[in-house]
Structure 1
Amino acid sequence: MEKIFKLTQSAVETLAEKYGTPLLVLSLEQIEHNYRFLTENLPGVKIYYAVKANPDERIVRTLADLGSCFDVASDGEMLALTELGIAPDRMVYANPFKTHNGLAVAKRTGVYKFTFDSESEIYKMAKAIPGGTVLLRVRVDNPKALVDLNKKFGAHPDDALRLLKIAREQGLDVAGLCFHVGSQSLSADAYVDAINICRRLFDDAAKEGFKLRILDIGGGFPIPAIDTEVDALAITRTIREMLEKNFSDIEIWAEPGRFICGTTVNLITRVIGTQHRNSQQWYFLDDGLYGTFSGVIFDHWDFELLTFKPDVEKIPATFAGPSCDSLDVMFRDKMTVPLEMDDIILVPNCGSYTSASATVFNGFAKTTRIVWEDVKQEIETIPLAAATSNRTL
């Protein structure tokens, strides 16, 4: 995954002048690159893009044209994709606890593939969608993940057979198993453990007369972060080898979100205020915690901030957003070169769990989004490689 979308200084300055700030710039070419990386390095795996990571219509349309399927988690996501003309057999309702309205919408739109991890969910699905195709989500503990989803979701492996039997008794099409190793998992270790667990469960299920035919390996594929290098090739190579060894005759799904969209968006934001308070320098930006930086709270993400100022001695600073809420503070004690009013900051790798969880609190509109490929011909400097003058804050 060597190609990373990062605007040059001249592009940032021109875009800020033309469109104002804050501004989100999306690269659809990077979307395609990330999708093809997975399909080429995990051959035969059916990709279900996790819409929740970034539901931007242009991302969804691009992936649909490439042949992607979609992981939806709500009635809203199902309806949005249906309005875009995406067929229901390209969706899996992958929320282990579905709302009654969600199941009603699934029935109305024709979505029939589901995941579950509890007995109570079985009866809901069987009543709403008789004969629906279901995958049991298995818990795989991975405390090293940035977000350990298994603290909330996943049935214990020891309970798997019991749940599969109940689902079969209720007339559901028990098709397979699924797992999620947790968001931003930096190695293949958790995938190896999960695949081994599922192989054992497939064998145990076969002894009970089940003919499981699908394994969903979820998401969790990582992207580069501050001081974190990612070897996506090594991770996918190990996963591919494990799947070939253990599940060569089984249909394999994956549900990437961050990996597909995380590196596709750059934020351009601006310093709108400076102040020295509580013995530290503060910088106020025109985007904040209720906007694109919502990922600080909801995704535990430490955003990289880039400036084009000379590389001088750095100082610790607090970065706050524009709202009139004291909670709206993104970073404290973040090392930075000294900044001034109207200085522009570039924030790369902010395509996942950012604009998707932004709000309009305090009357601030959600940050404007443009597509890089639509405007790059207007920009004097076209290259996407990071300028050598970029400085990390």
Structure 2
Amino acid sequence: MMSVNSKIVYNIQTYSGTDHDNICRYFATHDDGRQNPDDSFYIFDLGELTNLYSLYNSLLPRVKPFYAVKSAAYDPLLSALMELGSGFYCGSQKELNQVKKLGVKPEKVMVSNPCKQISHLKTAKEHGVSLLVFDNEHELRKLKNFYPTSRLLLRIFIEEDGEEKVYSSKYGATISEARKLMLMAKELDMNVVGVNFHIGVGTADESGRYQQSLTDAKKLFDFSERNGVPLKVLNIGGGLRANNSNLRQTISSINFTLERLFPTSKYPDLEIISEPGGFFSETSFTLATNVIGKREFKGTETPHHYYLNEGTFGAFLSLYALPRELKYFFMSESIEKRSTANSKLWGPVMTCIDKVIDNIILPELEIGDWIFWRNMGVYSFACSTRFCGFGTKSFYNVISNNDLLIFQQLQQKKKLSRFSFEEWTPNEESENVLKS
């Protein structure tokens, strides 16, 4: 059984009378917790996470979220989601051990990797985590040998447009393969409890692919029922993003299709789960970077080159895993009023590969200026390589007093909370920073 480590407590700075951006600016001038005053750092906004969790539940009332730990494996975020009632999707032994240390209950954990290392499989069994995913005969036989009492979700193939097959080329059984696997599992006396698919993250309206995948899942539910093995779990995977302009259209389609194919009247006990990652993590973190160098190339199209203490071997590597528009703000309004020019941003590693942005219009910056990047939670520190010794290591946790009330209202009853809240009171120096 997973047990809670009662010694773990996370300090959260609460605030009122200002906003999140000003809190970020404040920490740039107060380097407690950083090795060097000009080191980059993250701000984790517990209030943003709380509002996103509330939004998710309101948009998908039949669906229970199992947060994808890989997206941002930050302990305070995981603990907050645990206290809000989320489950967790783990893909490795390390992630299993991480959620165990935090005290997540085994029934709130799923191993969604269809091809598991045997030692990782044994760890899941030791922790009592029984809900696992498979998509082929070899994995099924492996599970029979090493975890015969596991509860299995069969991952099915999804249709993808274009030449690049991001998910379907690696994972997922076709409908005909899935039927054979279900019969094989029955012969092996393995407990297949449901169906799993994963659409993945995109910017378009994914309604069509959800409709097709849910239709395929329904075919397997019907097939399994005809063969005397009624299914109990439907996992619709991840891929939804909170700041996607098509979010509500996609979710409306999901809810409509769920009720059409899996009506509550016929499936009153069906457990529908999902694997949100970026939905919760992306906008919950802001990254602060410092301008550590500057060069000028007068007479060229990009006269100003700036060097940051984070780059494409660190936090910005996440842009390759999940392409998105970078949004930023500066230390003060006075910086924004400076004359602008085409600029290039480099990371700190000594290679031309470490280029953050090739061409961007910025006010003229000076060494020591701060740039704050919004929406830098998803895969940012998760993908950081720490190459050459660079990489953001410092985090600050904040929540507004208004959001704190919402968090406390949504918290599930617990004898022990992970969080200690401390009121942030700006002194005269910090007030001047915020007003500059």
- TM-score bin, normalised by smaller chain: 0.7 to 0.9
Match of 2:3 in 1: none
- In structure 1, the partner of 2:285 is 265
* Matched-pair contact (CA < 8 Å) for 2:89–2:275: yes
| AA aligned opposite 1:193 | Q
User: For 1:107, which of 105, 125, 129 is the aligned residue?
Assistant: 125
RMSD over aligned CA atoms reads 2.7
Matched, 1:284 2:307: yes
Shift of the 329–78 alpha-carbon distance from structure 1 to 2, 3 Å rule, reads: same
Residue 79 (structure 2) aligns with? 61
| Counterpart-to-counterpart distance in 2, 1:193 and 1:348 | 34
> Which 10-residue stretch deviates more, 148-157 or 25-34?
148-157
* SS in structure 2 at match of 1:325: coil
How far 1:109 moved relative to its partner? 1.0
Q: Distance in 1 between matches of 2:255 and 2:372?
A: 36
Q: Is the 8 A contact 1:117 1:153 kept in 2?
A: yes
* Residues 299-314 of structure 1 aligned to structure 2 (within 5 Å): 299-307=322-330, 308=333, 309-310=335-336
1:135 CA drift (Å): 0.7
Which residue of structure 2 aligns with residue 334 of structure 1? 360
Partner of 2:227: 208
Code of the residue aligned with 1:13 in structure 2: it is R
Which structure has the bigger radius of gyration? 2
**Aligned residue number for residue 318 of structure 1:** 344
Matched with 2:385 is: 359
Residue 23 of structure 2 is aligned to residue 11 of structure 1: yes
Contact 1:27/1:372 (<8 A) preserved: yes
Aligned partners of 1:185, 1:150: CA distance in 2, in Å?
Answer: 18
| Residue 159 (structure 2) aligns with | 141
Distance in 2 (CA, whole Å) between partners of 1:43 and 1:289 is: 38
CA distance in 1, matches of 2:232, 2:125: 23
Aligned residues of 1:296 and 1:330 also touching (Cα < 8 A): no
* Cα distance in structure 1, aligned partners of 2:220 and 2:370: 53
Out of 233, 236, 259, which is 1:217 matched to?
236
Contact in 1 for aligned 2:40/2:392 (Cα 8 Å): no
Aligned 1:166-177 pairs, distance under 5 A: 166-177=184-195
Worse-superposed segment, 365-374 or 19-28: 365-374
Equivalence map 1:156-171=2 (5 Å): 156-171=174-189
Deviation of 1:60 (Å): 0.8
Secondary structure at 1:150 match in 2: coil
Q: Which residue matches 2:249? A: 234
Correspondence for 2:217: 198
Residue 83 (1) aligns with residue 109 (2): no
CA shift in 2, pair 1:158/1:7, >3 Å: farther
Which deviations, in whole Å up to 9, do the C-alpha atoms of 1:27-46 show, x marking residues without a partner? 11211211121112211312
Aligned in 2, Cα 1:303/1:107: closer, same or farther, shift over 3 Å?
A: same
CA–CA distance in structure 1, aligned partners of residues 192 and 20 of structure 2: 51
Change (3 A) 1:154 1:378: farther
Q: CA deviation at 1:18?
A: 0.6
Give unpaired runs (5+ residues) of structure 2. Answer: 1-17, 32-36, 400-420, 429-433
Using the TM superposition, give the Cα deviation of residue 318 of structure 1 relative to its aligned residue in structure 2, in angstroms. 2.3
Asked if residue 39 in structure 1 is aligned to residue 54 in structure 2, the reply is: no
Change (3 A) 1:139 1:375: farther
- Is contact 1:174–1:212 with CA below 8 Å preserved after alignment? yes
Shift of 1:380: 7.2
Name the structure, 1 or 2, with higher relative contact order (CA <8 Å, separation 6+): 2
Relative distance call for 1:379 and 1:243 in structure 2 (3 A) is farther
What is the one-letter code of the residue matched to 1:37? L
1:189 aligns with 2:208: yes
SS across alignment from 1:159: helix
Distance, in Å, in 1 between the alignment partners of 2:326 and 2:167 is 21
Q: Quote the residue 1:384 is aligned against.
A: none
